[in-house]
Structures are given as structure tokens and as C-alpha cells.
Amino acid sequence: MQKRLVLNQQQIQIILKRFCHQLIENHDNFENTVLLGLQPRGIILLDRIVEELEKISGVKVPAGYLDATFHRDDFRRRDFPLKANETKIDFLVEGKKVILVDDVLYKGRSVRAAMDAMIAFGRPQKVELMVLVDRKLTRDYPIMPDYFGIRVNTIDTQYVVVEWASQGQPEDAVWITEKEK
């Protein structure tokens, strides 16, 4: 199976730092800003960003985990329903600036479902999207990221795999692989 490294640990670290500085630039002292990581994989990136932001600015930005399983548009169109993950949000998003965080933006359907799930917690003032990898050629919905780590040209027969050292992988890395036929 073909496998191509797109980002290595050092490059991912540089991107995380860049994300933090972009957020500080746009959100100042985060007085009215919250971060929501999309389950299941966006929460790993979210945790890293929250940690990094605290190191750089000394601010612990309110953050939560959002699961959009019950808001997906493919219910009853799959052979069986997807298993839900934990939603853990101990604040309201009413009137807040919300930054949704995910690892890969592919078709845009998960983000649409996530926005639907998010408004159960109030009407946000503004919503932004941050992703580590933007697969720009494969979108089904008109959704674009406000912050992206890298933009890649991939097709549907390829996977983008994000590996994290904190999840037992040798190191942080992003790969593009071919789907097995």
C-alpha cells in the first residue's frame, strides 16, 4: 500500500504554534471565545491547542467536546448506526465566539452536523472552523476552514491518516494512503 508522509512531528508542532498565534491575534484575551473539539478525533487536536495556548498566553480557554452522531445526515442510510461518543460541554455557547476544531476536513458533512448539534447549546455570536488538514477537492457542502494546517489535493480513493504520539503512535504525523481495493 502506498503511503506518503505529508506532515512530520516538527511541522505539526509549528502549525500548532501558528494556530495559537492566529487565535490570539483574532480573539485577543479569549474573553468571549470557546473551543469545541469534534468527536472522535478533533478532541486530540483541541487538547493540544488548549495546552499550547496556555503555555503561550497563560489563558485557559474554555473548551468542550462535541459529538454530532445524532445529527448526522446518513442515519438509516448506513447498514447500522454509528456509535456515539461523549459530548462534554459545561458552558452555553449563547452569544459566544465558537471555534470548531477537527483533524481533517473532507466532505464537510461532519462539520454541518456539528453546527447543528452545537446550536442545542445556544445561539453563538460567530462560528469559525479550524482543521489540521483541508482536503480541498472533496467537499459535498459549501464549508471552508478559517484556519488550516495544510491544504492537500486528494481524491476519494485516498485516506488522510492523522497519527498522534499521545495515542500510542511513534510520533505525530499526517499520511496520505490509498484505499485498498
Partner 1 sequence: MSQLSTRHLLGIKDLTSADIQLILETAENFKEVINRPIKKVPSLRDITIANIFFENSTRTRLSFELAEKRLSADVVNFSSSNSSVKKGETLVDTVNNILSMKVDMVVMRHSSPGAPHFLARNVKANIVNAGDGTHEHPTQALLDAFSMREKLGDLQGKKVAIIGDILHSRVALSNIFCLQKLGAEVMVCGPITLLPKHIESLGVKVELDVRKALAWCDVANVLRIQLERQQIKYFPSLREYSLYYGINKKMLEELDKEIVVMHPGPINRGVELSSDVADSDHAIILQQVENGVAVRMAVLYLLAGVRA
141 interacts with partner 1 by CB under 8 A: no
Question: What is the size of the binding site for partner 1 (CB under 8 A)?
Answer: 24
Q: Which residues make beta-bridge pairs with 136?
A: none
| Out of 30, 121, 147, 148, the residue judged to bind partner 1 by CB under 8 A | 121
| Out of 9, 11, 13, 87, the residue judged to bind partner 1 by CB under 8 A | 87
Q: Could you tell me whether strands 173-178 and 158-163 are parallel, antiparallel, or unpaired per DSSP bridges?
A: antiparallel
120 interacts with partner 1 by CB under 8 A: yes
Each residue 5-44 as x (binds partner 1 by CB under 8 A) or -, in order, gives ----------------------------------------
To partner 1, the closest distance from the beta carbon of 118 in angstroms equals 10
At CB < 8 A and 24+ separation, what contacts does 45-51 make? 45/101, 45/102, 45/103, 45/132, 46/101, 47/166, 48/16, 48/166, 49/16, 49/19, 49/20, 49/23, 49/101, 49/130
Which residues contact partner 1 by CB under 8 A? Answer: 67, 69-71, 75-87, 92, 116-117, 119-122
